[in-house]
């Protein structure tokens, strides 16, 4: 029989958790015990204790993909990105069919500067689950930073098809469209962000630039002025405004 350390009640040996208070019985050769320890440590913000508990899980049950998945997230939180990558890859080795693992591996790879590998894993995530909406966002971000602006636009468009109200997607597709010279197409996206109440200097600067490039100078000036009003140190908008208003004397 087992005695619960918390409520002091006695239960049969096959019990892993106390059915009264939910506390795990001390069984250091049972991976379920260490998983519970890891979960509680994570909830309490003790990432290292959670990692140590997962290492014990790995020692007992070294082929469980979930253990490596959890380790991947814990190492990510602790800033140990390469260990995070290695753990996610190990998880995939034991179960290559979970979209979540490829997604989080893609994020860790992006953090490590491995942009192409990040893109490949995000694509694999979407291949397994085409409705994994947030993966389209990161595929757009990684594609943009790799210089693949058209692929970034495609990714953000797919995100907006699934979630038309995604403000951040409207912002980034606007930036991507501007980067390839499609200023007219970018305007509705920046307007969507502005109308959402997320008005900030970056949105106003891009909107001002888009209006300038499409020949709508009054709206361009209006947005540059508003950007400077929000942030007097917005030198980008100041330069554009000075350029537009600096009419040479005849």
pLDDT of residue 247: 60
Helix (H) or strand (E) holding 194: helix 183-195
Residue 220 to residue 224: CA distance in whole angstroms: 6
Residue 175 to residue 169: CA distance in whole angstroms: 10
pLDDT of residue 203: 95
Question: How confident is the model over 135-157, as a mean pLDDT?
Answer: 97
Question: How confident is the model over 228-241, as a mean pLDDT?
Answer: 93
pLDDT of residue 57: 84
On whether residue 246 sits in a domain, the answer given is: yes
On whether residue 194 sits in a domain, the answer given is: yes
On whether residue 66 sits in a domain, the answer given is: no
In this predicted structure, the answer to whether residue 41 has a pLDDT above a threshold of 90 is no
Q: Which domain holds residue 239?
A: 165-250
Share of the chain above pLDDT 70, in %: 85
What's this model's pTM, rounded to 2 decimal places? 0.83
On whether residue 69 sits in a domain, the answer given is: no
pLDDT of residue 54: 84
| Sequence-distant (≥ 6) Cβ neighbours of residue 128 within 8 angstroms | 97, 98, 99, 102
Residue 224 sits in a domain of what CATH number? 1.25.40.10
Report pLDDT digits (tens) over 156-171.
999 999 999 999 999 9
On whether residue 38 sits in a domain, the answer given is: no
**Which pairs from 141-145 meet CB under 8 Å and 24+ separation?**
141/110, 141/172, 142/106, 142/110, 142/115, 142/118, 143/119, 144/172, 144/175, 144/176, 144/179, 145/115
In this predicted structure, the answer to whether residue 199 has a pLDDT above a threshold of 80 is no
Closest CA to 109 of 127, 74, 85: 85
End-to-end alpha-carbon separation of the chain, Å? 100
On whether residue 92 sits in a domain, the answer given is: no
In this predicted structure, the answer to whether residue 15 has a pLDDT above a threshold of 90 is no
In this predicted structure, the answer to whether residue 13 has a pLDDT above a threshold of 70 is no
Report pLDDT digits (tens) over 181-190.
999 999 999 9
How many domains is the chain partitioned into structurally?
1
On whether residue 178 sits in a domain, the answer given is: yes
On whether residue 187 sits in a domain, the answer given is: yes
pLDDT of residue 179: 96
Instruction: Quote the radius of gyration of the chain (alpha carbons, Å).
Output: 26
């Amino acid at each position: 029989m087992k005695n619960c350390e918390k409520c002091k009640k006695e239960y049969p040996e096959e019990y892993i958790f106390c059915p009264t208070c939910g506390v795990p019985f001390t069984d250091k050769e049972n991976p379920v015990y260490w998983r519970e320890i890891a979960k509680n440590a994570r909830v309490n913000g003790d990432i290292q204790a959670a990692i140590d508990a997962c290492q014990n899980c790995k020692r007992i049950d070294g082929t469980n993909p979930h253990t490596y998945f959890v380790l991947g997230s814990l190492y990510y939180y602790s800033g140990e990105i390469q260990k995070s990558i290695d753990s996610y890859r190990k998880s995939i080795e034991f179960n290559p069919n979970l979209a979540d693992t490829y997604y989080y591996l893609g994020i860790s790879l992006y953090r490590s500067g491995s942009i192409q590998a990040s893109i490949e894993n995000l694509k694999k995530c979407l291949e397994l689950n085409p409705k994994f909406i947030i993966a389209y966002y990161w595929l757009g971000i990684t594609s943009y930073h790799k210089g693949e602006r058209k692929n970034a636009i495609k990714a953000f468009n797919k995100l907006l098809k699934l979630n038309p109200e995604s403000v951040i997607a409207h912002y980034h597709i606007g930036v991507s469209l501007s980067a390839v010279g499609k200023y007219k197409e970018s305007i509705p996206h920046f307007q969507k962000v502005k109308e959402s109440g997320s008005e900030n200097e970056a949105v106003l600067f891009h909107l001002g630039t888009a209006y300038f490039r499409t020949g709508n100078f009054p709206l361009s000036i209006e947005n540059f002025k508003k950007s400077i009003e929000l942030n007097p140190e917005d030198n980008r908008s100041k330069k554009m405004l000075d350029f537009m208003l600096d009419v040479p004397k005849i």
